[in-house]
Amino acid sequence: MPRDPYAGLSAREREMMDIIHRLGEATAQQVRQAMKSPPTDATVRSTLRVLEEKGRVSHRTDAGRFIYRPLVSRKKVREGVVQHVMQTFFDDSPAELIAALVDRRSARLKPGERERIKELLARLEEGERR
């Protein structure tokens, strides 16, 4: 998979992939309903066929409906997106990326997230000591 897992996709294809990843699997109707400015039903179905031809999704049939699922896991896509963003905007520096994420002006940590970050950093330090 390329560093940017959405490389070669149009904005509409990216939006549809985001929806399918978020839902895990989806019908064309579910994809269309989740879109910000949905095109026609025919356009959604056509774009899903294109995504299938590009090897980004596959489908199964259930009661005559096509149900689409991504061919690359959400975790792999997330890793690729983070790597792409880190290289493009943060000079390939994890520290700069993390600093941007937790900057006091922009951070809105959910309960327990601060502790999770501390645990991750502690595990990283422990691994470096070995």
- Structural domain boundaries of the chain? 90-129
Alpha carbons within 13 A on the beta-carbon side of 87: 8
Strand 65-70 versus strand 26-27 pairing type: antiparallel
Q: What is the mean pLDDT of each run of 10 residues along the chain (130 residues)?
A: 75 96 97 96 97 96 96 89 89 88 70 85 80
Measured CA distances, 76 to 90, 111, 121 (Å): 20, 26, 22
Question: In the prediction, which pLDDT does 104 show?
Answer: 64
E strand segments, 1-130: 26-27, 57-62, 65-70
What's the pLDDT at 46?
98
Contact 96, 90 (CB under 8 A): yes
Q: Which residues contact 37 (CB under 8 A, 6 or more apart)?
A: none
